[in-house]
Amino acid sequence: MYTVRTVTDQAECESVWRSAIPEESVWDLWEFRDCFQRQFQRPLLFLVADGDQGTAGLLPLSWVQEAGCYGCFPGEAWEGHTWLEQNRLVACDGGALTALLANCPAAYHLRYLLPLESLPETEHVVDEVGYLFLPPRYDYELENYFQEFSHKSAKRVKKELAAVESQGVEYCHDNFSAYDHLVRLNVGRFGERSYFADDRFTESFRDVARLLEERDWLRFTTLRVGGEIAAVDMGCVYGGTYTLLAGGTHADFPGVAKLINLHHMRRACEERFDQVDFLCGDFSWKKLFHLTPRPLYLLTNPPAVAGNEPHVECAPCPE
């Protein structure tokens, strides 16, 4: 039998998070997620299941008003959907998970979840698929990786990349000033559909970049073609994983996205990383490049009416 308590004070939420969430990836770090919380300022609702042996589960939520439901903390939303991946729900067993979900006071839509042992496999609903490159699988040799391609496919990819390289390419690494170029390229390519069309995302990622730079985890990669900035990617290295968090490409340089991504893969082999995480998103190059799929999951119940605030006393977010 479990008792579920509600935590809404941000300092207490942080304490609960740090005690319950293992720091296995950069997505698990409170400081990383707080970069988004500072900008979006969502009301917090952390549900904690207590049992005879202490804390048995944690459901960390944020109220996403425009979607009319709870999302995973910190509730950063783009077109009504949260962005951060590899979200965790902590539950020691099915009873703890059931108690947590039953005590959520309004609808929830929890995306990009890692598999949960306390949830039966038959109830794991795939949300989206992320894609990984695994250097150890190829003995850290990119040419071994290309053996997975058909001869015709490999030839076509290399020909396309050679066409870009023939214009003269140059890579620059770890220049923080590249951030503004990344934003400009992304907005120029996607317009209002860009994450960076929302100032809250722009400043959240800027805060993320500062955090990663302070800890020496930041990786900026700028690709120039013919002297012009054609692509910029922002990533980080944490625990043997190289994660590409955001990027932008110039529409005048076809094939440049494939070129910079192959550069990341080559660099990962040279530095012997465990994996490169290219995140979710159904971009054709990911399947073309034979990346390893990793599904992330969804827990949801019928959505509430947008703007219909749940009846929960939430402490104001700090300035």
Residue 248 clears pLDDT 90, i.e. is over it: yes
- pLDDT band at residue 281, thresholds of 50, 70 and 90? confident
Question: Stretch 173-178: mean pLDDT, rounded?
Answer: 87
One domain for residues 38 and 88: yes
One domain for residues 108 and 210: no
- pLDDT band at residue 288, thresholds of 50, 70 and 90? confident
CATH number for the domain that contains residue 198: 3.40.630.30
- Exposed, middle or buried, 151 (CB in 10 Å: 0-12/13-18/19+)? exposed
Q: To 10 degrees, the CA torsion angle through 34, 36, 40, 41?
A: 0
CA distance 42 to 67: 12
- pLDDT band at residue 110, thresholds of 50, 70 and 90? very high
| 123 located within any domain | yes
- Could you read off the pLDDT of 55-96 as tens digits, one per residue? 899 999 999 999 999 999 999 998 878 899 999 999 999 999
One domain for residues 100 and 177: no
Q: Are 105 and 312 in contact (CB under 8 A)?
A: yes
Which of 106, 129, 152 delimits the end of a domain? 129
pTM of the model: 0.90
| 310 located within any domain | no
| 52 located within any domain | yes
- pLDDT band at residue 121, thresholds of 50, 70 and 90? confident
| 202 located within any domain | yes
| 298 located within any domain | no
Q: Domain of residue 156: give its range.
A: 135-273
Which of 129, 162, 186 delimits the end of a domain? 129
One domain for residues 58 and 106: yes
| 311 located within any domain | no
Which of 129, 164, 184 delimits the end of a domain? 129
- Could you read off the pLDDT of 200-221 as tens digits, one per residue? 999 999 999 999 999 999 999 9
CA distance 313 to 40: 19
One domain for residues 68 and 166: no
Residue 315 clears pLDDT 60, i.e. is over it: no
Give CA angle at 37 (10, 46), nearest 5°: 40
Q: How many CB atoms lie within 10 A of CB 313?
A: 8
Bridge partners, residue 53, by sequence: none
| 283 located within any domain | no
| 289 located within any domain | no
What is the total residue count of the chain?
319
Mean pLDDT lowest for which of 3-12, 114-123, 134-143, 276-285?
A: 114-123
Tally of structural domains, the chain: 2
Q: Which of 148-162, 167-181, 222-236 has the highest mean pLDDT?
A: 222-236
Which position has the token pair 């985890």?
217
Q: Are 75 and 314 in contact (CB under 8 A)?
A: no
CA distance 210 to 204: 10
DSSP-H helix ranges across 3-120: 10-20, 30-40, 94-102
One domain for residues 80 and 162: no
One domain for residues 122 and 187: no
One domain for residues 250 and 190: yes
One domain for residues 269 and 158: yes
Residue 53 clears pLDDT 90, i.e. is over it: no
Give CA angle at 276 (265, 230), nearest 5°: 55
Q: What percent of the chain has pLDDT over 70?
A: 94
